[in-house]
Structure 1
Amino acid sequence: MSFAEHAIIWHVYPLGAVGAPIRPEASEPLTHRLPTLTGWLDYVVELGCNAVLLGPVFTSTSHGYDTEDFFEIDPRLGDEADMVAFIEAAQQRGIGVLFDGVFNHVSSTSRYTELTTGGSFEGHDILAELDHSKPEVKDLVVDVMTYWLDRGITGWRLDAVYAMPPEFWADVLPRVREKHPDAWIMGEMIHGEYVEYVEESGIDSITQYELWKAIWSSLKDGNFFELEWTLGRHQEMMEHFVPQTFIGNHDVTRIASQIGQEKAILAAAILFTVGGTPSIYYGDEQGFTGVKEDNIAGDDAIRPPLPEELSNLGKWIENIYKGLIALRRQHPWLHSARTEVTSVDNEVMSYASIGSDGQRVDVHLELQVPSVIITDHGTELFRYTAN
């Protein structure tokens, strides 16, 4: 049985979540902040999640995506002992830990400069692109992935995989899987041919950005026809692999800021009733807000520190998330379900998610007064209507 079949992921950006300085003027001293994150694992279990996806954790110069050393935990978070303790604490609670592997590029001041192409990634001078044609780069990535899998992680998110040749992974992953055959490997695909990339690379899953965009914009614009079309595309993907689905992550404006808290509940209902391996971006389940901006500090608002104690203002949203996650747990076949739209108008839509053995849940969405009803063969499982 694949880890992903029953995975519901809590995605967290560690440097932000623990309140570490993101753009320090000089090297930061070793500070043991990771235990703070360990303290949230019971909350993860209470939500109903059983996996934690950590954003970058390796030594870097600023935001984590400019890696200096793949074998060293960022001293702003702690050290390897802190990370091993976090992984072990997660395992004790039945939580799998996923790492963010930034293997397309490194810091331009890293120890890996001899392995780069000499070019910068997407115009960012601080990011040097690795030369994926070099055998030494393949060896490095195999060693890094294996090193941390040996220490207990469950799998990897591959950052910016859309910018990397699929043949690179076709060479690397079989070597990783010789020792860790069950490791789950998910790639960040913002654009490109998803099915073709999965088949050529051998990765298990990709980030379903098409569905993410269709969910929020159809709810925002009152255009369920966009969601209908994209669910058709989603179904085509599901015939080849199961995507990683989401309505929020570390790179996009918070769903509550994008469409408001009431419609964000509808977005969550869609997330948990269509096929995929769903992830929750930390704080979305509390109604956190934050707008991504196009400047050097433009991601800070969407990557905030976790509070010492959660406000009661988000409790109603948390309880709704718990209900939707419980629904998903009670219908595990939804992971690979096919979705059929049964009726659609601009602001009203119904669809059925259907299992391979005839299982079925029906979802009815309305936008004028945001509401959702989920039923199982006529039995009501979930209902929400905005006040």
Structure 2
Amino acid sequence: MSAWSDHVIWWQLHPLSFTGAPGQLPAPPGPPAHRLPKLRDWLGYLIELGANGLLLGPVFESGTHGYDTIDHLRIDPRLGDEADWDDLVAACRERGVKILLDGVFNHVGRDFPQFRDVLEHRGASEYADWFHLDLTATDAPDGFGYRDFEGHGGLVALNHDNPAVRRYTAGVMRHWLDRGADGWRLDAAYQVPPAFWAEVVGEVRATHPDAWFLGEVIHGDYREVVREAGLDSVTQYELWKSVWSSLNDANFWELDWTLTRHNELTSGFVPQTFVGNHDVTRIASRLDDPRHLGHALAVLFTVAGVPSVYAGDEQAFRGVKYERVDGDAEIRPAFPESPHQLADFGLPVYRLHQDLIGLRRRHPWLTRCVTRKVELTNETFAYEAVPPEGEPGLAVLLNVSDEPCGFGLDRPVKWLLGSAPDGSGTEVEGHGWAIVEFQA
């Protein structure tokens, strides 16, 4: 794991929708529309939030939403060109902001040149082995069948057993690391054989040892995936789900179980943690009770991991993810040209993010901490966050009941954040939360 990744907090955005780009690549594409420079105007906002990493969704030429890639070596003309990329890199470097690129290497769009050649020449194409073709399916619309991504015909799955695909992927990664990226988020990593990632990532690390590789993994044995694939981290979807469902169901037993498993995971690697991203319903909409948003954020910023904030969540944006065509529209809105144009209603949640991120910055050991249950009922939960080198640490006090709760901590504490404390700092109001620090 790269040394810098222990100190990074990502602000994640989906560039095409964030900048208001059209939903489809024009045909023909035409001259670049320089939308990427808009991101420069948000770097100060990112830093004021407390983040120091920009986690970008797809920026390469694609047909629609960015995940149907046409050319991995070209900036999407709806966003701009390579000069715009270089300017963004320079602006990030000037401010000490890391950049993570979204690498879509499980599948490509139908206009990917190698697949276009297959459409023209079918089995005779020199690129036929780049894909999983079924040339016996002559009644299919293209005259042959092919494997796609989870039933989406516009997303053509690559053949990861083909050495040419491996070389291509490694070449793309090296190209953009040379051009200023600091690492890669590997989209749909769970669909790709771990041996493929191990070869590609190992090859790229030989020339870029400080690069950080994050795999999108939704379920399964996270530690085994990291080990077999040679990755630094994977997305901690188990924690994401447990945070909001334990709050909605008033069932902190679920969160306690998940934090126990989280400890097991973090003994082997540091997961990427989140309560929102570009693929899920926003946390402000997911929670049944808006009073519990602070609880979710308190957990995010007091457990081990490399945390990210999905752009807009820090402003209490709402939006539901639907399983339908254009089902991401609500969770991927266009942003204004400048942070000064944001509505005032989100300011309290923005300030809360700043406070919690500030707390995490003052306790950098939280990246690799261990959590330990102190007190647990259906509606109340207290856990300790313990530094790797031992105590003293922090305690997180969560209450979703209607009544105040006095937590029985066995040592003196100092109140840091959350609901107004009583004299001991351990009583939390109904539907409140608090973070306290144990005194040595």
Give the TM-score normalised by structure 2: 0.85
Residue 325 of structure 1 aligns to a residue whose secondary structure is helix
Q: Quick check: 1:227 aligned with 2:255?
A: yes
Partner of 2:205: 177
Matches within 5 A, 1:127-166: 127-166=155-194
Q: Quick check: 1:294 aligned with 2:296?
A: no
What displacement does 1:356 show?
1.6
What displacement does 1:38 show?
1.2
What displacement does 1:91 show?
1.1
Matches within 5 A, 1:197-212: 197-212=225-240
Partner of 1:379: 414
Q: 1:353 aligns with which of 377, 382, 385?
A: 385
Partner Cα distance (1:279, 1:94) in 2: 17
Per-residue displacement from partner, 1:273-329 (whole Å, max 9, x unpaired)?
000000000010000000011111100110111124111111011001000000000
Distance 1:99 1:289, change over 3 A: same
Aligned residues of 2:25 and 2:78 also touching (Cα < 8 A): no
Q: Quick check: 1:214 aligned with 2:238?
A: no
Distance 1:218 1:315, change over 3 A: same
Aligned residues of 1:187 and 1:207 also touching (Cα < 8 A): yes
Deviates more, 1:33-42 or 1:258-267: 258-267
Partner Cα distance (2:87, 2:323) in 1: 36
Partner of 1:194: 222
Partner Cα distance (1:287, 1:263) in 2: 12
Aligned residues of 2:223 and 2:265 also touching (Cα < 8 A): yes
Residue 44 of structure 1 aligns to a residue whose secondary structure is helix
Distance 1:75 1:25, change over 3 A: closer
Partner of 1:336: 368
What displacement does 1:27 show?
4.4
What displacement does 1:226 show?
0.7
Partner of 1:365: 398
Aligned residues of 1:117 and 1:131 also touching (Cα < 8 A): yes
Partner Cα distance (1:166, 1:370) in 2: 49
Partner of 2:435: none
- Structure 1 segments (4+ residues) deviating >3 Å: 23-29, 369-377, 384-387
| Structure 1 counterpart of 2:51, one-letter code | C
| Structure 2 counterpart of 1:110, one-letter code | F
Q: Percentage identity across aligned positions?
A: 48
Aligned residues of 1:364 and 1:373 also touching (Cα < 8 A): no
Deviates more, 1:118-127 or 1:64-73: 118-127
Partner Cα distance (2:318, 2:290) in 1: 9
Residue 365 of structure 1 aligns to a residue whose secondary structure is strand
Partner Cα distance (2:415, 2:397) in 1: 11
Where structure 1 has 5 or more consecutive residues not aligned to the other structure, the ranges are none
Alignment root-mean-square deviation, CA: 1.9
Partner of 1:237: 265
Per-residue displacement from partner, 1:181-226 (whole Å, max 9, x unpaired)?
0100000001121111111111000000000000010011111111
Partner of 1:53: 55
| Structure 1 counterpart of 2:81, one-letter code | D
| Structure 2 counterpart of 1:214, one-letter code | S
| Structure 2 counterpart of 1:361, one-letter code | L
Q: 2:274 aligns with which of 246, 253, 262?
A: 246
Matches within 5 A, 1:2-151: 2-23=3-24, 26-29=27-30, 30-113=32-115, 114=127, 115-118=130-133, 119-151=147-179
Partner of 2:304: 275
What displacement does 1:93 show?
0.6
Residue 368 of structure 1 aligns to a residue whose secondary structure is coil
Partner Cα distance (1:112, 1:130) in 2: 10
Larger radius of gyration: 2
What displacement does 1:140 show?
0.5
Residue 300 of structure 1 aligns to a residue whose secondary structure is coil
Partner of 2:438: none
Partner Cα distance (2:380, 2:12) in 1: 30
Distance 1:176 1:369, change over 3 A: farther
Distance 1:110 1:243, change over 3 A: same
Give the TM-score normalised by structure 1: 0.96
Residue 71 of structure 1 aligns to a residue whose secondary structure is strand
Residue 275 of structure 1 aligns to a residue whose secondary structure is coil
